[in-house]
Amino acid sequence: MITIKEVSSKKELKEFVLFSFELYKDNPYWIPPIIADEMETFDKEKNPAFSSAEAHFYLAYKNNKIVGKIAVIINWDEVNLLGKKKVRFGWFDVIDDIEVTKALLEKAYEFGHKHHMDHVEGPMGFSNLDKVGVLTEGFDQIGNMITWYSMPYYKDHFEKLGLVKEKEYIESNFSFATIDPTPFQKASVLIKQRYGLKPLNFTNTKEIMPYVDRMFDLFNETYANLQSFVPINDIQKAYFKKKYISFINPEYIKFIMDKDDNMIAFAIVMPNFAQALQKAKGKLFPFGFYHLLQARKKSKEIVFYLIGVTPEYQSKGVTAIIFDEYYKVSLAKGIELCVRTPELEENHAIHNLWKNFDPVINKRRKTFRKDL
């Protein structure tokens, strides 16, 4: 018999987090999160996502053993600002038992009916900066801290239960060894001269902080036309600034300014922390923090996390300046591989940015939908 129980204590919330560690304990491709970070993500007092979202967390039990979990979310900004009557589900993990999956999804359906929503979509988090999708290809590829790994049977369960594809994402990587920088180096010089643009480079985090709010505003502007986009609010900006910006190498954050000192583009790249997180095993102490610091300093792989260009400049070659600046940094650090995070298959503008880098698609993932 399958029993579904809503998480109601800190102890149960930790069990919710730790279930994934048990499920993937022998999987060499899964990247464990830092347990304390996951607990903070689910803390209504600490995560500003709860200022505009409602979430419930459920555990599935069979024979008194945890066999699955799901977070069920309504982002009220998405409902009220975009008119999308959607229930999100995320942080989904389950044993290979379709009845457990069915029972967990029923909680999302119940929540949707209660609030008069018209469909369910997932896996996805609170916002556009959270992880998204289940893998449909690339199960033999190591993950990263920006994505969820998932078992091959997840997509099979969803399809058998009548869910259909809502969005598809691709992930890829490319080697620095094969890059010919000449085209974007030449273009960078020309674009800077033509439009009076200049890159801002940093050597310490303190220099970056005055620009971060402008960066998030530009992020909202850049992606506003994507049908699934929910803007980041001011409370979330402050949270992300405090929690993440200081952990990213300052030389990996790039801003492009116009002649009037307006930010017209930005990009964020991070060291690949995948192997360090595997060594940390979910804990910063006693050695996890050391492994992360070593990766921050010495990783030969980077993860291209985020890029934004104001609509006015999106067809004017500004990305050549960004690529030129990152190439200089990567060359100095001996970077060998660039990993790209999930990009919507329909976002052709993003894909075109990479066409001259010979990227290799190594993963695909989807979100699934169920009409209520």
Based on the domain organization, do 239 and 142 belong to the same domain? Answer: no
Nearest CA to 121 among 61, 73, 49, 80? 73
Number of separate domains in the chain:
2
Report the CATH number that the domain containing residue 315 is assigned in CATH: 3.40.630.30
Q: What is the pLDDT of residues 103-158, one digit of tens each?
A: 999 999 999 999 999 999 999 999 888 999 999 999 999 999 999 999 999 999 99
Token pair recorded at residue 191: 């674009």
Farthest CA pair distance, the chain = 69
Domain containing 74 equals 2-169
Both 153 and 272 in a single domain? Answer: no
* Residue 54 within a domain: yes
Please tell me whether residues 135 and 284 are part of one structural domain: no
Q: Does 370 map to a domain?
A: no
296 and 160 in one domain?
A: no
Residues 97 and 46 in one domain: yes
CB atoms under 10 Å from CB of 333, counted, come to: 17
pLDDT tens per residue across span 255-310: 999 999 999 999 999 999 999 999 999 999 999 999 999 999 999 999 999 899 99
User: pLDDT at position 242, please?
Assistant: 81
Within a domain: residue 254?
A: yes
Residues in Cβ contact with 358 at an 8 Å cutoff, skipping those fewer than 6 apart: 174, 178
